[in-house]
Amino acid sequence: MPAVSVVRDSKPNVKRALEYIGFEPKECEVLVIKPHLCSDKPWYTGATTDPRILEQLFKLYEGLAEEIYVVESDGYSGSADEAAKALGIKELCEFYGAKWVNLSRDILIPVERDYLALENPFPTPRTVLKADVIINVPKMKTHSLMTVSLGLANMFRIVPRRKEIYYPKISEAICDVLMIRSPDLTILDAGIAMEGDGPLKGTPKRMGLTLASRDPVALDTIACRIMGINPIHVEHIVKAGYYGFGEYAEKRISVRGESIENIRERFQVP
């Protein structure tokens, strides 16, 4: 049974979130961290990942990971490089000896799979493919196209170019990305979330939560319940569960830490 931890604190508490699910960082050659940096809007607007989570991960993997990469791709709102610089992510990487990679400028390697929506073979960023461990660090937000932007939606952002051509079949495209590489761990930044006209123009919503799970589908399922949204009505969550990328049946998910009933807040959706 997959486990999802839910920690309430005034600031991100990655260590406690990982303890609840029994995740212990281990030695690896290449660690890739995928935050959500869709714009240069700071974390307290609810738009992007809190850099304090990245800092905690750097410290947890100090001496364990030979190389640490922080990655993001360009989006319709602008360059990932510009966002990383404006948000202090590049500076943080330099301080801890991590490497910043814009996936849209990475070397692309064709990967063949039985895709549902992506072009085949799909040009995949090399940094993603060489990762021993991928930690996905999304933001809790509503989304005008997908209803919610959580862990599964954040993995779609490894698509290096022309994401918009996949929007008509976004749920299938997300499943295709997971077919290439599913995250080993997802840590959801729900300190200050976003509701309403997300993913960029919504309203900040203070939640004070950090969620974590090895199962990205289970995490998104529980996050939806916390947001007062029925995950069965979120197509990409249901399809990712149907195709075997995680558990979407709530009765088969163990929630550890805070109970959903105590922290549920109804989010306004677009």
Report the pLDDT value the prediction gives residue 110, as an integer from 0 to 100: 98
The number of C-alpha atoms within 13 Å of 200 and in the hemisphere containing its C-beta is 9
The residue whose two tokens read 């039985």 is: 114
DSSP per-residue string spanning 227-250: TT--GGG-HHHHHHHHTTSS---G
Report the pLDDT value the prediction gives residue 78, as an integer from 0 to 100: 84
Residue 82 within a domain: yes
Residue 168 within a domain: yes
Residue 127 within a domain: yes
On whether the pTM is more than 0.95, the answer is: yes
How many domains, in total, are found in the chain?
1
Q: By C-alpha distance, which of 152, 133, 130 is closest to 60?
A: 133
Q: Which residues of the chain have pLDDT under 50?
A: none
Report residue 49 as tokens. 């990942």
> For residue 148, what are the β-bridge partners?
142
The number of C-alpha atoms within 13 Å of 67 and in the hemisphere containing its C-beta is 13
> For residue 71, what are the β-bridge partners?
101
Q: By C-alpha distance, which of 140, 144, 173, 172 is closest to 157?
A: 173
Residue 147 within a domain: yes
Report residue 4 as tokens. 């999802």
Measured between alpha carbons, how far is 172 from 170 in angstroms, rounded to an integer?
A: 5
Measured between alpha carbons, how far is 245 from 103 in angstroms, rounded to an integer?
A: 23
Q: What is the pLDDT of residues 180-205, one digit of tens each?
A: 999 999 999 999 999 999 999 999 99
Residue 262 within a domain: no
Pairing of strands 122-125, 108-111: antiparallel
CATH, residue 139: 3.40.50
Residue 85 within a domain: yes
Measured between alpha carbons, how far is 223 from 141 in angstroms, rounded to an integer?
A: 10
The residue whose two tokens read 């589908």 is: 217
Report the pLDDT value the prediction gives residue 196, as an integer from 0 to 100: 97
CA-CA distances (angstroms) from residue 237 to 171, 172, 187, 250?
8, 10, 17, 12
Q: Which positions ≥6 away from 262 have C-beta within 8 Å?
A: none
Residue 266 within a domain: no
CA-CA distances (angstroms) from residue 61 to 7, 54, 56, 167?
21, 11, 9, 35
DSSP per-residue string spanning 180-206: H---SEEEEEEEEEEESSTTTSSEEEE
Residue 267 within a domain: no
The residue whose two tokens read 């998910």 is: 253
Q: What is the pLDDT of residues 13-25, one digit of tens each?
A: 999 999 999 999 9
Structural domain span for residue 40: 3-257
